[in-house]
Amino acid sequence: MGEVLEVPAGGGAKRYDPNARLAHQHLVCTRCGELRDVFPAGEAGLSLGADDRHGFEVTAVRVVFEGLCPSCRPVGAA
Ligand SMILES: [Zn+2]
Ligand SMILES: [Zn+2]
């Protein structure tokens, strides 16, 4: 399956990410730790201007979208 990336998940569980070689971000349920790969357009709306890079060569952007999955959302919530 090739190299995998260890992803910290909620509750101390460890998951191995089969998509480590595809640029993507994560959507995580803060309650049960459900983890989904998501592919936001571009750099997920994030970019650093030269002044904010502090001399760094930025090679990646890591974004975690957090929320409640359908099974953890309170009943009746949108
Ligand atoms: Zn959940
Ligand atoms: Zn992933």
Of the listed ligands, the closest to the CA of 18 is 2
Rounded Cα distance between 49 and 51, Å, is 5
Of the listed ligands, the closest to the CA of 30 is 1
Of the listed ligands, the closest to the CA of 22 is 2
Q: Kindly give the distance from the C-alpha atom of residue 73 to the centroid of ligand 1, in angstroms, as a whole number.
A: 7
Region of 3 please: left (phi>0), alpha (psi -120 to 50) or beta.
beta
Q: How many CB atoms lie within 10 A of CB 17?
A: 16
Positive or negative: CA dihedral 69, 70, 73, 77? positive
- Which residues in the chain show pLDDT less than 50? 1, 12-13
Rounded Cα distance between 62 and 1, Å, is 23
Domain layout of the chain by residue ranges: 5-67
What is the dotted CATH code of the domain comprising 5-67?
A: 3.30.1490
**Residue 13's pLDDT is what?**
46
Q: Kindly give the distance from the C-alpha atom of residue 13 to the centroid of ligand 1, in angstroms, as a whole number.
A: 14
